[in-house]
Amino acid sequence: MRRKIIISLFGAALLCSGQMPGIAADSVATLPDAETRDTIVTISPLFGWDRNKTNVRGERGQVIEKTDTAPEYGLFFLLVYKNLVFTNFSFFTDVNDTDVFGNLAFANLYGSRKAWISWNIGAGYLYHRIKPKNEDITVNVPMVKAGPLFNITEWHLSVNPYIGYAWERVDTQRANMDNDSYLYGITVGWRWRMLAATVKYYYQDSQEADDDYQTVRARAHCMFDAHWGAVVRFDYMEHSTSDDTSILFGPVYVF
């Protein structure tokens, strides 16, 4: 059965995606500021649940929908050095009798954080290992993206519309499949003192498959002091044979 796994583009939050002035110097709990620190490192272990709806073929060839909810485990790492942001997100879940491991690494370079309008370019690599019954699937997806960055400082907002391209390779025990895609997305970030939130949406325009897909991600976190905080993230992803909805929670530690 042909299976295509959706590209989890830019799955890690860009916590420092735009200029957010007005953070008081004497605040007890504030987010680290890329304007006052050249280097920022954060790490966040995550735990939550994934709800998966999958369409499979029955013994008579009929399509059967299977729904399952299972624990999901993740680890998020972020490194900011001046205007360069590197993120890495790894996760694992065993849902609908399928082991799924994923890793997404991404690097973003930004222009001026003080200008009202600036720019962003990025490149990343996605790896998935999916092991349903009697099958072994690997997904490898290098990708790039670029777009303007708007800093609306009076509202503590950053807006980053972008376009991108992804080269998807799916290898199974039965066949190998390619599906290159154009990517159209937007990321909106809000940041003030110890609070931050990011919402992103992107549309995957498949060039070789019949279907296109959509993804919505949202993240919010709060710092309790200079080093410790908490984060919650929500993800909805469409696939060719299934949909996934997940919610994860965890602490955030800033070095």
pLDDT tens by residue, 36-48: 678 999 999 999 9
The residue-averaged pLDDT of 129-153 equals 90
**In 3-state terms, what secondary structure has residue 103?**
strand
Q: What's the pLDDT score for residue 240?
A: 64
Q: Are residues 87 and 106 in contact, defined by beta-carbon separation less than 8 angstroms? A: yes
The pLDDT-based confidence of 132 (bands split at 50, 70, 90) is: confident
Q: Is 17's pLDDT higher than 80?
A: no
Q: Report the sign of the C-alpha dihedral through residues 170, 200, 189, 31, in that order.
A: negative
Cα separation, 168 vs 7, whole angstroms: 8
CATH annotation of 39-254? 2.40.128.130
pLDDT value of position 212: 84
pLDDT (average), residues 178-196: 91
- Does the pLDDT of residue 242 top 90, yes or no? no
Is residue 72 within 8 Å of residue 246, measured between CB atoms? yes
Contact 168, 182 (CB under 8 A): no
Residue 228 CB: number of other CB atoms within 10 A?
A: 12
Contact 229, 220 (CB under 8 A): no
Query: Per residue in 69-125, pLDDT tens?
Result: 999 999 999 999 989 999 999 999 999 888 999 898 999 999 987 789 999 999 999
Confidence of residue 25 (pLDDT cuts 50, 70, 90): very low
Q: Residue 200: what pLDDT?
A: 87
Helix (H, G, I), strand (E, B) or coil at 83: coil
CA dihedral 151→157→163→167, nearest 10 degrees, is 120
Predicted local distance difference test score (pLDDT) of residue 170: 86
Please give the residue that has the higher pLDDT: either 19 or 76.
76
CB 91 within 8 A of CB 74: yes
The pLDDT value recorded for residue 57 is 64
The residue-averaged pLDDT of 1-23 equals 34
* C-beta of residue 147 within 8 angstroms of C-beta of residue 161: yes
Buried b (16+ CB within 10 A) or exposed e, 50-65: bbbebeeeeeeeeeee
Closest to 98 in 3D by CA, of 211, 248, 241, 212:
241
CA–CA distance, 110 with 137 (Å, rounded to integer): 35
**CA 99/CA 110 separation, integer angstroms:** 36
Domain parsing of the chain, residue ranges: 39-254
pLDDT at position 208: 78
The model's pTM: 0.80
pLDDT recorded at residue 34: 57
pLDDT in tens, 158-177: 999 999 999 988 888 888 88
- pLDDT reported for residue 153: 87
pLDDT value at position 142?
A: 94
Q: What is the chain's mean pLDDT, rounded?
A: 82
DSSP category for residue 7 = P
Cβ distance 186 to 156 under 8 Å?
no
Residue 134 has pLDDT above 70, yes or no: yes
| Average of per-residue pLDDT across 223-252 | 89
